[in-house]
Chains A and B, each alone.
Chain A
Amino acid sequence: MMNSRIRHYIDLITVLTQKEMKVRYKSSFLGYVWSILNPLAFAFIFFVIFKVVMRIQMENYTLFLITGLFPWQWFSNSVNLSPGVFLGNASIIKKVNFPRNVTLLAVVLQDMIHFILAIPVIVFFMFVYGKQPSFSWFYGIPFLLGVQLFMTYGITLAVSSINLFFRDLERLTTIFTMFLFYATPILYPVTMIPAKYRSVIDINPLAPLMISWRNLFMEGTLKVELLATSLAYGITAYMVGYFIYKKLCWKFAEVL
């Protein structure tokens, strides 16, 4: 009995993730290429602004941008989509008693798969800049994927659930992720932040994770201290998100 329930849960996640993947690019000609073109276009814009126009003094700035933007894209795509996920599944949530959180997990997993598929692009740019993938990727990437999955899933659970009761949250989420983007060292390295503002990085839950991704991709290094903080943030985000979801989920069918 227990076994078949787990089996069904896994199938539910698989089928819903497949659905998200299929639906996303169903009618578009270039399909998966779009998931790479989008962050690349961002990287190009920021490169022109900061390297060509403002002449930031940094080596390999293109690679620097890409290694930060790709994982960020996963996070922000999932979070910005999340307010509409439960709303979009209203008709089924009102009728069938299935675990509602699976619909969200499918969205986050789908963005994660797109990120994984974009890693070869990072590798390509590394070769262009005369760098090579490191052995530490074998354990570093799965670890950071796990941390970011927990973090993103937790935040989206909270946002998607609360948005059913406070529909304004949808607008606030976009503004919030925009602020978070500029408050996270993605366009600039931590060392460029004036010392008195550096504490902003300490309270930003995304910062240790994004810095870790970049270190791993560019140098092949992992700092235990950053990993521990990002893991702690990730698990906290998940627990808080799941708690909020559990508190509210039985009311979903009433408000949808």
Chain B
Amino acid sequence: MNKPVIVFDNVSKNFPLYHHLTGGIKNFLFNLPEAVNSMRNNRFEALKDISFKVHQGETLGIIGRNGAGKSTILGLMAGVLKPSAGGITVKGQIAPLLELGSGFHPELTGRENIMLNGVLLGLTRAEVLKKINEIIEFSELEEFIDQPIRVYSSGMLARLGFSVVSCLDPEILLIDEILAVGDMEFQKKCIDKMMGFKKDGVTMVFVSHAMANVEMICDRAIWIDGGEIREEGEPEKIVEDYQSHI
């Protein structure tokens, strides 16, 4: 077995419920004792003492209900969230695949958005320019690439997003529900691309509700339920158990 590149070591994550603060100063001051108390105690436990490893070149699927903690795990991996307890180690350059349209600006053209997105994901301008033709070609959006993306359909946005990330040459790729939009043909293209990544030894973490895709792409799967790992193992087995549970 290859060496682990992502290690979660007894990780817990609490979110304070900030409603007293975001409710404004007035609310906060009028309910000061309660507000301070609630900040201390009123916490939402998104993840409870989770441990797992992802090895180099492995594709890990994460499944579970809405709000189970899947996106929190991805946030922790990407380093935008800090764990409340436990340790996380990530070795290698990590690239999150952005959900529909995030990191894009509607007034900018497709081409300008590729540059924006590429640089936000860690490339220099020269690197993006070198790859921009490849990205445009993969997206099959040549006709629209100099139009502002506010005129794009949601499927076209998904194409653009996936195309940018797929040309990044990341070491670790985080994918959160991207394949749901986009037509069948592009979905197939994405799956093919991900299979290509697998062959090239890219480590992937794949969050999805599309069980068929999880079974097809992943080497291993984790079922998250209420912030805890319910089951871990062969994708077929996990998907079957998860589906029979519903």
Which residues of A line the B interface, CB within 8 A? Answer: 4, 7-8, 11-12, 14-16, 19, 22-23, 26-27, 91-98, 165-168, 250, 252-255
Contact = CB atoms under 8 A, between A and B. Distances in A.
Nearest to A254: B15
A97 B80 contact: yes
B125 A14 contact: yes
B24 A167 contact: yes
Given A8-B124, A166-B25, 7 more contacts: A8-B119, A19-B112, A23-B107, A26-B108, A96-B103, A96-B120, A96-B121
B75 interface: yes
B21 interface: yes
A16 B120 CA distance: 9
A22 B108 contact: yes
Interface of B: 15-16, 18, 21-22, 24-26, 28, 75, 78-82, 94, 96, 98-99, 101-103, 105, 107-108, 112, 115-116, 119-125, 148
Contact of B107 (A22, A95, A98): A22
Given A27-B107, A166-B25, A253-B75, A22 B112 contact: yes
Contacts of B102: 91-92, 94-95
A11 to B, nearest CB: 5
B25 A168 contact: yes
A254 to B, nearest CB: 6
Nearest to A20: B105
Nearest to B97: A95
B31 to A, nearest CB: 14
Contact of B103 (A4, A95, A165): A95
14 contacts: A11-B124, A15-B115, A15-B119, A19-B105, A92-B120, A94-B75, A95-B96, A95-B99, A96-B103, A97-B80, A98-B122, A166-B21, A166-B28, A255-B18
Contacts of B24: 166-168
A13 B119 CA distance: 10
Contacts of A7: 124
Contacts of A168: 24-26
A95 B79 contact: no
A91 B82 CA distance: 17
Nearest to B15: A254
A11 B78 contact: no
Contacts of A255: 18, 22
A34 to B, nearest CB: 16
Nearest to B71: A94
Nearest to B46: A254
Contacts of A253: 75, 80-81
A101 to B, nearest CB: 14
A250 B82 contact: yes
A19 B120 CA distance: 12
